[in-house]
Amino acid sequence: MSEINQKDFLDTMQKVMYDFKEGGRLRDKEGRRIAQRTAQIVRWSFVGMVLLGAAFLVLLLILTKDLVLITDNIVAMSKYTQSMSEDMHSMVGTMGGIQDDMTGMKTTIIQLSVETGQMSDSIQQMNTSIAVLPIMNSNVEKMSQDLTTLNAQVARMSHLMGVMAQDTNHMSKPMRMLPWN
């Protein structure tokens, strides 16, 4: 009976050793599979990050290029606005002169009813007041031209903003292919 126990013991030990060896082999195989899968995930994540960085760089370059153009247009509009401001100041001065002249005309008309002998002086003052009107008309025409130019600048800036929005939409299309969308 001791030989049977020894044989059973040896068979059991042989089976245990085989199971131990087989378990180690399967653990090693599973470890390699996990390592390969992890390396693949890291590799594709790196590729994705490089593509994302490149997309951001291109977007930044496009926006920087358009920003310089928009800044130039804003500076040009600022110059036209400054010119309009100067025209407005000139018009205000002219209007003040007209107001003063109108007051003078009113005084002259009152004096005309009292003293008819000074009528020629009053007519001369009216002619001086009316001579200022063509200057004001010229200032209004110049302001109209400046407003037309400003309108064209705003239309161009609106167009450029539309182009920049289209570029941004175009550059963001690759981001829609990623799994978080």
* Band of residue 33 on the pLDDT scale cut at 50, 70, 90: very high
Position 14 in a domain: no
Q: Is residue 103 part of a domain?
A: yes
| pLDDT, tens only, 13-22 | 999 999 999 9
| Residue 28 within a domain | no
36 falls within a domain:
no
Q: Is residue 7 part of a domain?
A: no
Domain of 163 in residue numbering reads as: 54-177
In this structure, is residue 88 part of a structural domain? yes
Predicted confidence (pLDDT) per residue in 40-62, tens digit: 999 999 999 999 999 999 988 88
Q: What is the DSSP letter of 180?
A: T
Asked if residue 111 lies in contact with residue 118, where contact means CB atoms within 8 angstroms, the answer is: yes
CB-based contact 136:80 (threshold 8 Å)? no
pTM metric for this prediction: 0.33
Rounded Cα distance, 49 and 40, in Å: 14
Task: Choose from 8-12, 42-46, 81-85, 87-91 the range with maximum mean pLDDT.
Answer: 42-46
Total domains, the chain: 1
Does residue 37 sit within a domain? Answer: no
Residue 112 has a pLDDT of 54
- Read off the tokens for 180: 């978080």
Q: What is the pLDDT of residues 103-161, one digit of tens each?
A: 766 676 666 566 655 556 666 776 776 776 677 778 778 888 888 888 888 788 788 87
- Kindly indicate the confidence band of residue 98, based on its pLDDT and cuts at 50, 70 and 90: low
Per-chain mean pLDDT for the chain:
79
Cβ atoms 98, 136 nearer than 8 A: yes
And the tokens for 45? 């994540």
pLDDT higher for 123 or 5? 5
**∠ at Cα 174 (168, 179), nearest 5°?**
130
What span, in angstroms and rounded, lies between the C-alpha atoms of 181 and 176?
Answer: 6
4, part of any domain: no
